Structures are given as structure tokens and as C-alpha cells.
Amino acid sequence: MPRKLLGQHGYHRHVMQRAEAVDLLRRLHQAQQAFYAGGDEAPVRALLTDDIHWHVPGRNAIAGDYQGIDAVLAYFRRRRDLVDRTFRLHPGDVLVGDGDRIAALTDGTAVVGGVQRRWSTVGLYQVRDGRVAGCWLLPLDPASFDDVWAGLDKQAG
């Protein structure tokens, strides 16, 4: 695995190769798809670090900062259950730079209130030791993303 001098402080870190990044996200998205359809969480857990952090922006039922694997998996369960296991990922382009981060364009779909909804995001993933250590979800249309996920607390309660 190549190491490269990066950053103003001159530290070394793993440089993610494109094939490695694409494979990791393919495995993550496949494990998530199975989980969102009602499958086991173990394959998802195996791809995340114990100290993972996951950030979801906005003012909606799933927005928040989730710290640690148990909190992130609880968030995954929550978004699965809020839309009655209809949540699906539609992976797109993967962008890899000279460090340990990957950007992935991904659309999501779910049936919300009997209507099929769709949104687009960029997931900015941090990778450590071949597993996902962080994700910042960046909706391409934040207002639309909030609209999809807003009010679901009231429906679920």
C-alpha cells in the first residue's frame, strides 16, 4: 500500500487506490441493502470501525451526529424502520483523491406516506484499516432531503 507525504504537517497516511475504494463501498452498499430489507446487521458492522462517526445534516427525523458503532447501527435501523424497509441505495460515481477519504454519489429511494420519493447525496467517507471510520452525508438538495425525512417521527409515533 503506497504511503505519501500529505498535508502541511508532513504526516504520512494511506493513499486509497480507486479499486480498493470502489470495492469497499460496493461491499458496504450491498450489506446496507440487505440490512434495510430486513437482513442481519453483522455484515454492515464488519465494515465499520468501532469508533465510527456519521453525520446527517438537516432538520428532519434522521438528522444528527452519531458516534460509535452502536449509535450508527441504531441510526441505520431507525431510517430503515421509518420507511417500512422500503429504503434503497442507488450507488453512482466514486471519487478518490490522495488520502483516506472517498466521495460517493448515491441516490436514495423510499416509499414515504405511500409515495415513492428519491433524493441524491454525496457521502464523504473516511477509511481506516480497510473499514469505514466516518461519513458526512451531503444532500445535493438539502430542502428536498429534509422534506422526504421530515414529519416521519409523527407518523411513527
Summarize pLDDT for 127-157 with one digit per residue, the tens.
999 999 999 999 999 999 999 998 776 554 4
Residue 12 is predicted with a pLDDT of 55
With a CB cutoff of 8 Å and minimum separation 6, the contacts of 91 are 25, 26, 29, 104, 105, 106
Q: Grid coordinates representing 117?
A: 420519493
End-to-end CA distance of the chain: 49
Instruction: Report all structural domains of the chain as residue ranges with CATH numbers, in order of start.
Output: 13-156 (3.10.450.50)
With a CB cutoff of 8 Å and minimum separation 6, the contacts of 103 are 94, 95, 96, 122, 123, 124, 125
CA distance 154 to 82: 10
Nearest to 51 by CA among 31, 66, 36: 66
Confidence of residue 14 (pLDDT cuts 50, 70, 90): low
Residue 97 is predicted with a pLDDT of 87
Residue 68 has what DSSP assignment? S
* The residue count for the chain: 157
Q: What is the mean pLDDT of the chain?
A: 90
Query: What is the torsional sign of CA 118, 131, 79, 68?
Result: negative
CA distance 49 to 46: 8
Summarize pLDDT for 27-73 with one digit per residue, the tens.
999 999 999 999 999 999 999 999 999 999 999 999 999 999 999 99
With a CB cutoff of 8 Å and minimum separation 6, the contacts of 62 are 56, 75, 78, 79, 82, 149, 152
CA distance 1 to 78: 37
Residue whose cell numbers read 493513499: 15
